[in-house]
Amino acid sequence: MAVMTETPVATQERENRPGAGWRLRLYTIIFEADTRAGRAFDLALLALILASVIVVMLDSMATVNVRWGGRLTWLEWLFTAIFSVEYVLRLVCVRHPTRYARSVFGVIDILAIAPTYLALFVPGLGALLDVRVLRLLRVFRILKLGAYVREFAELGNAIMATRRKIAVFLTFVLVVVIVMGTLMYVVEGGRNGFTSIPVSIYWAITTLTTVGFGDISPTTDLGRLIASLMMLMGWGTLAVPTGIVSGAHWPCRPA
C-alpha cells in the first residue's frame, strides 16, 4: 500500500495551525474550507479578487479612466483596505506569523496591497500599480491548487537532472543564431533592414523560434534560402527541450 506523504504546503499549514481558542476559530475560517463559514469566506474572497483585478484592468484603459477614474480609485482603496485587514488577520491567527509572511502565499498577499500604499507615499512609483494584478495568483490558494506542489517539485527535479544537457542545447542555439545572424548581415546588409549584427541576431532568434514578427525579412534569394533553413531548423529546435526533460527520470507513484 502506498504511503501518502504531506506536501510542503500541507506541512506548513499544519505547523502554523494554532492550538485552541479564538485564533483557532479564526484560522479555521480563513485558511480552511471544510466548514460553511470557511467556504463562504473563500467565495467572498474570490469575488473580491476577481473584482479588484477587473478594476485594475479598467483603470489601465484611457477612455474608461477619463470618465470613471475617480470611482475606480475609490474602489481600489476599498479593495486595498479589505485585503490589508485580511492580511493582518492571517498574521494574527497563525502560530508563526513571520514564517507565514515569508511563505509564497504571504509574499503574494503583501504584493497585492503594497503597490497602492507605495504609490500614495512615493508618486513616482505609480507604474507599480500594475503589479496589483498579482492578486489573481491568490486564486491558487482558494482553489487549493497548492496540493500540486509535489508535481511542480518533480518537474523542477527533472529540469535540474537535465540541466547540463539543456545548457549544451542552449549554447548550441546561441551559436546558431549568432552565426546565422552574422551571415544574414553579410548577405542582406543594411539596405534590406539588417543594419547591424545584433539586429540580424534578433531576426535569427525570431525566425528560429518560428515567431516571425515580419519587421525584418530577407529580399535576396540567398537570404531567403537561409531563412528557409532557419525555419525548418526551428521545428526541431523547439522539440529538443521537451524531449530532454521528458527523458529524465520521473518518480513513479501508484495511483
Place of cell 504511503: 3
Contact between 140 and 130 under an 8 Å Cβ cutoff? The reply is no
Per-residue confidence (pLDDT) for residue 28, from 0 to 100: 87
Structural class in CATH, domain 8-148: mainly alpha
Look up the pTM and report it: 0.60
Where are the domain boundaries for CATH 1.10.287.70 in the chain? 162-246
Instruction: Give, in order, the Cα–Cα distances in Å from 111 to each of 16, 30, 105, 125, 197.
Output: 21, 19, 10, 14, 40
Per-residue confidence (pLDDT) for residue 39, from 0 to 100: 85
Taking alpha carbons only, the member of 179, 170, 171 closest to residue 230 is: 179
Per-residue confidence (pLDDT) for residue 4, from 0 to 100: 46
Could you list the pLDDT tens digit for every one of the 255 residues in the chain? 444 455 555 555 656 677 678 888 898 888 887 788 888 888 898 888 888 888 888 887 889 889 998 898 899 889 989 999 999 999 999 888 898 888 878 888 888 888 888 877 776 555 555 666 667 777 766 666 655 666 666 777 777 888 888 888 889 889 999 999 999 999 998 888 999 999 999 999 999 988 888 888 999 999 999 999 989 888 877 777 777 777 765 555 544
The answer as to CATH 1.10.287.70 being correct for domain 162-246 is yes
Pairwise CA distance, residues 210 & 212, whole Å? 6
Where are the domain boundaries for CATH 1.20.120.350 in the chain? 8-148
Contact between 158 and 241 under an 8 Å Cβ cutoff? The reply is no
Per-residue confidence (pLDDT) for residue 8, from 0 to 100: 53
